[in-house]
Chains A and B, each alone.
Chain A
Amino acid sequence: MRMNMKDSKSRLEGKIAKHIATLPRSGIRDFFELVNAMDDDVISLGIGEPDFATPWHIRESAIYSIERGHTSYTSNLGLLSLRKEIARYLAQDYGIEYNPVNECIITVGVSEALDILIRAITEPGDEIIYHEPCYVSYAAEIVMAGGVPVAVNTREENNFALDPEDFRKAITSKTKAILLNFPCNPTGASLSMEQKKQIADIAIEHDLIVISDEIYSELTYNERTPTIASLPGMKERTVFLHGFSKAFAMTGFRLGYACGPAELIEAMMKIHQYSMLCASIIAQEAGEEALKNGMREMLKMKAEYQERRNVITKRLNEMGLKCVTPSGAFYAFPNITSTGLSSKDFATRLLCEGKVAVVPGTAFGKCGEGYVRCAYAASMSDIYTAMDRIEKFLLTI
């Protein structure tokens, strides 16, 4: 047996593509395994998805799709009726107009949209700038497409917004695109209108593509500034990525979309048609229902997140973990340097001793050291208990 195992191992060694073999596992994954090994009494603030089940009317419409036998492939771009609904929604709520016929593609989550977009634009050696701390997939997606990820740090003193000058400094002759995610996972940061304008100007000056992952945009607790795609000269170079996972609590439906210049959407469609064919029709029909009739439930969930945000930031600050008030998404990103512990040690000890799971900031990039991510997509009573536990834990270190 042992011989066999060894054999099979050596047989595959060197067979896995180098750029994949050397790709680090997501820091989230490591921590996930640690948390899973713990008993049940742990309260998790580590979940990057809504704790709400999908609103019933949306679930019901998915059931109805199946009942009617709508179980086929759809066109590669996705149901035209859904694309039209998306175009209407974006025109109405985001102030930007897209042609549903050729400027919009339905994907399997924003995840797939990101993947096919980056593959569509990246040639070997192309640099793509993104900001850290950030969603765990960005750097890996760029590497898998043969590009070079260039991280720009965002800082607490700017409320974790991207400083346009830092962006400018990172640009080289190889820069192809910049990838933005505001409101941001894991910091909850947003960009001001002024910052968006400056970033847009720099992108235009250097003729860069702008990828704007706005998956958390509905969950903006202050006034939402217009998308960067809507600024003058930006629509023709921006791909707007959005989906249903967060605001409509539809992570399991795996549904997202990209809107942008027809040429780019066409290029993305090619990859999509050969690798994915289309998003699930059941999810697409449910997405249509969400956009048509889901605003009330969505706003209810948003109001609830906002209250949780108020509670969690107040409590964290009161117990001495300095925490910028997040302006969007459902993450708080407190500074834990006052404890003298590293992010990883803090998170590990809090898990084992305090029975609360948070994610070390370093899972979202090197500059996340000194921070942890607390997701407040958890019930209010869990948040209260978790805060009490963290407060008690702090007294022991």
Chain B
Amino acid sequence: MRKNILRLLGENARISFREIAERLNISENEAMEIVGEMEGEGIIKGYKVIIDEKAVADNVVRAIIQVKVRPEREGGFNNIAKRLSRFPEVSSLYLVSGGYDLQLEVQGETLHEVATFVSSKLATIDGVISTATHFLLKKYKESGRILHDEDEYERLKITP
């Protein structure tokens, strides 16, 4: 049941308890309880909105930054990753396999702001060996949602 509720919340975080209950054939109280439990246990960490950033006037510049770091004898990549994750400019951060170690998504209001973050904050941290910054140009899909327009396809209104 938890899985099902998480799936529904993943599709629409603003779904009502009533709809959750009706769809999964449980009572509204049960739905509320289970969600409450999952919030309490930290399984649900928050609720997020997917925004079409073009539509809001404020400029947002995003970049994906690939970072190579020198792991520490104790703690490996953890300390530096934790330290980086405290920067509000970093919107997500992953340890990845392959040619580099950490992948950051960084967000700022101008190109300059992001570039400054990289050169003055990120690159100067002890343990950071190199960075490669890729500015995002256009968003086609996010969180499982396709963001480019697809023409609505009209089905027949009545079929057998």
Contacts and interface: CB of A to CB of B under 8 A. Distances in A.
A213 B155 CA distance: 24
Contacts of A36: 157
Interface residues of A, number: 29
B157 A32 contact: yes
Contacts of A357: 157-158
Contact of B159 (A46, A308, A384): A46
B19 A31 contact: no
A40 B155 CA distance: 12
B160 A136 contact: yes
Contact of B160 (A48, A303, A307, A311): A48
Interface of A: 26, 28, 31-32, 35-36, 42, 44, 46-49, 51, 53, 135-137, 185, 303, 307-308, 310-311, 314-315, 357, 359, 380, 384
B24 interface: yes
Contacts of B19: 311, 380, 384
A31 to B, nearest CB: 6
15 contacts: A28-B160, A31-B158, A32-B156, A32-B157, A32-B158, A36-B157, A44-B157, A47-B157, A137-B160, A308-B23, A310-B22, A311-B19, A314-B22, A315-B22, A380-B19
Contacts of B120: none
Contacts of B155: 47, 49, 51
B25 interface: yes
A36 B19 CA distance: 31
B104 to A, nearest CB: 30
Given A307-B24, A310-B23, A311-B22, A47 B153 contact: no
A385 B108 CA distance: 40
Interface of B: 4, 19, 22-25, 153, 155-160
B103 to A, nearest CB: 26
A253 B91 CA distance: 44
Given A314-B22, A384-B19, A135 B160 contact: yes
A226 B23 CA distance: 27
A185 B159 CA distance: 12
A304 to B, nearest CB: 9
Given A44-B157, A303-B4, A310-B23, 7 more contacts: A28-B159, A32-B156, A44-B158, A47-B157, A53-B153, A137-B160, A314-B25
Most buried by B among A26, A28, A47: A47
B157 A307 contact: no
Contacts of B23: 307-308, 310-311, 380
A378 to B, nearest CB: 10
A139 to B, nearest CB: 13
Contacts of A26: 160
Most buried by B among A42, A47, A185, A307: A307
A296 to B, nearest CB: 13
Contacts of A380: 19, 23
B9 to A, nearest CB: 14
Contacts of A44: 157-158
B15 to A, nearest CB: 9
A46 B24 contact: no
A82 to B, nearest CB: 25
A114 B64 CA distance: 56
B158 A359 contact: yes
Contacts of B157: 32, 35-36, 42, 44, 46-47, 357
Contacts of B25: 310, 314
Contacts of A49: 155, 159
Given A311-B23, A314-B22, A46 B158 contact: yes
B154 to A, nearest CB: 10
Contacts of B159: 28, 32, 46-49
